[in-house]
């Protein structure tokens, strides 16, 4: 498959401006000059954009278990996720793989099997697929295992999650507890009892957090906080080397991160819908206030692409600036200096988009055209 192209006739996003100039790709890398005998792609009337980088997507869980208790082969689920990612313009994806104490869908045995399946199937995927390892802070017994994964998988990122501290307050009639119980394969009363049992180990959590953060940062992995509620939460994370705020729950926590020039990730579905589905910080308002720098797919792969267009249409950001929320900024947050913008030397992850229909008409990953449609 050719990796030498010249995309002509389109408006190419260069930094924060569109330019009427071709984009040259040589051996999968963007170059100033065209390659000899490069194949021509006519992008007349189209936008030429960097591929989307999705730092947190757990939509693949619904492909693994589309109904309670119904599991499909993990290799198949990853291939189906890949097709959805590419069709929505996502060329680099971090699947949110949860490491938990829970039974059921997030049982550690299933997590291990999902990891093994991804390592088998990754070479066959079109999207550059990595992991956002979502370590639950009460999964104390799995710290060494996670650090072992990070040691052999240098491209992954680590996220600290604590759902236990909040979930233990849920009543048996809570809709959230019922959803969690279904995921765990337990009755609500048994799920609540399981949460209470693990909460009894809360005195062990701080040392486990210290150890996993120190290990991850020593290995060179970005570490993300998850659901920071307060300024103090963000500061405590920073003291451990956590440099990215993922889904902060309050304006104050997001502002604390931005004051320190730390990236703030919010959900693309939140920005697309114009509100949070769970009453948390509104992504649209945060973007308007300069408190959000990255949008992720979260649970819905089409969201980043369409959220950018909504922000543009609502007059919140011009398209050329809004696109950084799903390309340049996530690249910087994850330490990916080889992609996220269209310039010489960058990896050729490229989208061709019809600005009238908002249709992605072509996707290139490292110079390979992996999707084309009229």
User: Using one digit for the tens of pLDDT, what is the confidence trace for 125-156?
Assistant: 999 999 999 999 999 999 999 999 999 999 99
Q: Residues 6 or more apart from 91 whose CB is under 8 A from it?
A: 51, 52, 53, 85, 127, 128, 339, 349, 351, 363, 365
Closest CA to 303 of 74, 122, 7, 56: 56
In whole angstroms, give the CA distance from residue 168 to residue 162. 11
Residue 70 is classified by DSSP as: B
Residue partners of 58: CB distance under 8 A and separation at least 6: 95, 96, 98, 134, 298, 299
What integer pLDDT is reported at residue 44 of this predicted model?
Answer: 98
With a cut of 50, list the residues of the chain below it in pLDDT: none
What CATH code would you report for 52-339?
3.20.20.140
Among left, alpha and beta (phi > 0; psi -120 to 50; other), residue 13 is beta
Per-residue pLDDT at 215: 98
Dihedral of alpha carbons 343, 349, 352, 356, sign: negative
pLDDT at 239: 97
Q: Look at residue 357 in the predicted model and tell me its pLDDT.
A: 96
pLDDT at res. 69? 79
What's residue 256's pLDDT?
A: 98
**pLDDT for the residue numbered 268:** 97
Per-residue pLDDT, 266 = 97
Cα distance between residue 257 and residue 175, in whole Å: 31
Q: Output the pTM of the full model.
A: 0.95
pLDDT of res. 23: 98
Q: What is the pLDDT of residue 1?
A: 77
pLDDT value of residue 65: 86
**Architecture of the domain made up of 5-48+355-372:** Roll (2.30)
Residue 199 makes CB contacts below 8 A (sequence gap 6+) with 138, 164, 165, 168
The domain segmentation of the chain, as residue ranges, is 5-48+355-372, 52-339
pLDDT at position 320: 94
Q: How far is CA 144 from CA 147, 201, 373, in A?
A: 5, 17, 46
Q: How far apart are CA 273 and CA 39, in angstroms?
A: 39
Q: Which of 288, 292, 289 is nearest to 257 (CA)?
A: 292
């Amino acid at each position: 498959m050719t990796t030498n192209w010249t995309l002509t006739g389109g408006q190419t996003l260069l930094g924060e401006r569109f330019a009427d100039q071709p984009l040259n790709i040589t051996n999968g890398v963007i170059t100033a000059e065209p390659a000899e005998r490069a194949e021509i792609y006519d992008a007349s009337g189209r936008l030429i954009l960097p591929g989307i980088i999705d730092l947190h997507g757990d939509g693949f869980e619904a492909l693994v278990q589309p109904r309670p208790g119904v599991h499909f082969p993990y290799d198949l689920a990853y291939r189906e996720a890949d097709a959805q990612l590419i069709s929505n313009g996502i060329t680099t994806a971090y699947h949110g793989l949860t490491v938990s104490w829970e039974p059921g869908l997030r049982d550690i045995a299933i997590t291990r099997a999902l990891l093994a399946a991804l390592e088998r199937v990754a070479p066959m995927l079109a999207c550059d697929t990595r992991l956002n390892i979502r370590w639950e802070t009460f999964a104390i017994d799995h710290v060494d295992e996670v650090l072992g994964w990070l040691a052999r998988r240098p491209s992954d990122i680590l996220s600290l999650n604590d759902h236990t501290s909040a979930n233990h307050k849920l009543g048996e009639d809570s809709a959230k507890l019922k959803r969690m119980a279904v995921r765990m394969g337990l009755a609500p009363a048994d799920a609540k009892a399981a949460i209470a049992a693990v909460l009894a180990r809360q005195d062990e959590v701080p040392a486990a957090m210290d150890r996993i953060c120190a290990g991850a940062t020593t290995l060179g992995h970005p570490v993300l906080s998850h659901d920071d509620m307060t300024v103090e939460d963000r500061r405590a994370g920073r003291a451990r080397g956590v440099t990215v705020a993922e889904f902060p729950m309050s304006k104050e926590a997001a502002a604390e991160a931005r004051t320190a020039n730390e990236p703030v990730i919010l959900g693309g579905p939140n920005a697309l819908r114009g509100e949070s589905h769970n009453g948390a910080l509104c992504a649209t308002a945060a973007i308007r206030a300069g408190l959000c720098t990255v949008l992720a797919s979260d649970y819905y792969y089409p969201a980043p692409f369409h959220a950018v267009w909504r922000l543009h249409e609502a007059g919140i950001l011009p398209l050329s600036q809004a696109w950084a929320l799903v390309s340049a900024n996530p690249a910087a947050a994850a330490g990916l200096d080889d992609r996220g913008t269209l310039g010489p030397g960058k990896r050729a992850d490229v989208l061709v988009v019809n600005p009238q229909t908002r249709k992605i008409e072509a996707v290139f990953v490292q110079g390979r055209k992996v999707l084309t449609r009229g």
